[in-house]
Chain A
Amino acid sequence: MMPIWTKSGEKHAVTLLKVQDCHVLRYVSKEESGGKTAKLLVGGKNVSPFSKPESAHEIFKEAGVPRKQKVSTFNVTDDAIIKPGTPLYAAHFRPGQFVDVTAKTIGKGFQGVMKRWGFKGQPASHGQTKTHRRPGAISTNKAAKVYRGKKMPGKMGNIYRTSFGLKVWRINTKHDIIYVNGSVPGHTNCLVKVRDSKLPTYKDCNKNPPFPTFFADGDEELPEDLFDEEIFQFTEPSVTFA
């Protein structure tokens, strides 16, 4: 995470996400998948093919791509279908867009009720016998049962969570890095899924994004760094208020 300054001198914290060897693996049509839209399977980071059996390599062989560590699905409309085997780059996103980021949260193991659900526990002294971090009562007398989904101790973390509506501040096309506002679930160097935001406030935010995606062998020549309009770029002199 890194600080970033706007032209008015305000500081924001930014997470760096690297797009490492992403390829489209397979196209699944609407009828085949049984959902409402077609799906595209996309694979992430390259990994050695020797730790899995040959049967698991079929998808990758069809697309002509080395084995990937993570495969995720994206729901796509029919006009955004991409041929399997095309690489995806960070320039697919543009600064000023809003994005949802999904990842597995940091695993905390088996945790008690105070850390997992934020219960208050009991006082440390004044006669409490062996009760300082316990949940206390778990149901009422009239209910005569414990409801399903009662908050109790258990394994915490290591589940998929999404942070919605994160602004993209900057894109580096040379190293394929996306600078995304705020924090993102997961530990450092973990695998992350980035999608266009589904929030209704940001429905009309994408002004001419590269559609269906940014093709490296196309005619467009992008500069090494793409900045949002409001970012203070370090090539400018210091900020002054008129």
Chain B
Amino acid sequence: RFLSPEFIPPRGRTDPLKYYMERKDMIQRRKVFNIPEFYVGHVLAVTTADPCASDKSKRFVGICIQRGGKGLGATFVLRNVIEEQGVEICYELYSPRIQAIEVLKLEKRLDENLMYLRDALPEYSTFDVNMRPVPRMAHEEIPVNKLQVRMKPKPWSKRWERPKYNIKGIKFELPEHKMKAAQKWSQPWLEFDMLREYDTSKIEEKIRKELSEELEK
């Protein structure tokens, strides 16, 4: 079952009581306001309250490129290209200014961080602002889009070909010797590093139990 990534506490020496208090607040907010299940790569429409807008509310449609932060400060970044200008807005999931979050298109991608869309051709980041929500077929699996994105010519904001980013969703049209040279920065010992292991299975189970109990009340 899906557990939102901001519920899992990070590794550290903080008192678990602090995470318990944050989770209580998060559950309170979720009871009043529905935060749908979404992953990186979904197309979302977010309506926020804004004192300066003429309707006092603003609606923004975009593809979720990153989900960051833990606890109440969890954020997600939506990207869209409006009138040939790329726009990215970082929203806080638990901010009281957000009035509605709708999932327009359910679709996972090959990576968990789509920041490379900034250096991809703009057609991959454009989404129609008045898009209709695509109906979900069966309540089973979320389809994974194995799209290989084509990039603008180099220089990019980050060297996405390096193994540190571990990106599978780009169609690299670079010459072979450049791809080989990028492998020089690979760190194959990292996956065997035991100090970096953080097994979250037991923590996740406990939190899932807590969540299901609280939300049923």
Contact = CB atoms under 8 A, between A and B. Distances in A.
Interface of A: 2-3, 5, 9, 11, 16, 18, 172, 175, 177, 188-189, 232, 234-242
Interface in B1-47: 12-15, 17-18, 21-22, 25, 28-29, 32-33
Nearest to B98: A238
B99 A238 contact: yes
22 contacts: A2-B21, A2-B22, A3-B73, A5-B96, A9-B97, A11-B92, A11-B95, A16-B21, A18-B15, A177-B21, A188-B12, A234-B29, A237-B32, A238-B49, A239-B49, A239-B96, A240-B56, A240-B57, A241-B49, A241-B51, A241-B56, A242-B56
Contacts of A177: 17, 21
Contact of A234 (B28, B73, B97, B99): B28
Interface string B85-122: 00000001011111100000000000000000000000
B13 A189 contact: yes
A3 B50 CA distance: 20
Given A238-B49, A242-B56, A175 B21 contact: yes
Interface of B: 12-15, 17-18, 21-22, 25, 28-29, 32-33, 49-51, 56-57, 71-73, 92, 94-99
B65 to A, nearest CB: 22
A236 B32 CA distance: 7
Contact of B15 (A3, A189, A236): A189
A9 B28 contact: no
B97 A239 contact: yes
B127 to A, nearest CB: 24
Contacts of A239: 49, 96-97
Contacts of B92: 3, 11
Contacts, number: 64
A240 B22 contact: no
B49 A2 contact: no
Nearest to A9: B97
B4 to A, nearest CB: 16
Given A234-B29, A237-B32, A172 B21 contact: yes
Contacts of A18: 15, 17
A189 B96 contact: no
Contacts of A2: 18, 21-22, 71-73
A3 B72 contact: yes
A234 B25 contact: yes
Contact of A9 (B13, B14, B96): B96
Contact of B95 (A5, A172, A175, A242): A5
Nearest to A242: B56
A238 B56 contact: no
> Interface centre among A5, A188, A238, A242, by most B CB within 10 Å?
A238
Contacts of B22: 2
A238 B95 CA distance: 8
Given A188-B15, A235-B28, 6 more contacts: A2-B72, A16-B18, A177-B21, A189-B13, A234-B29, A237-B33
A7 to B, nearest CB: 8
Contacts of B15: 18, 188-189
B25 A9 contact: no
> Interface centre among B18, B94, B97, by most A CB within 10 Å?
B97
> Interface centre among B14, B21, B49, by most A CB within 10 Å?
B21
Nearest to B14: A188
B13 A188 contact: yes
Given A9-B49, A189-B14, A238 B96 contact: yes
Contacts of B99: 238, 240
A236 B31 CA distance: 10
Contacts of B72: 2-3
B33 A238 contact: yes
A237 B31 CA distance: 10
Contacts of B94: 3, 234
A235 B71 CA distance: 17
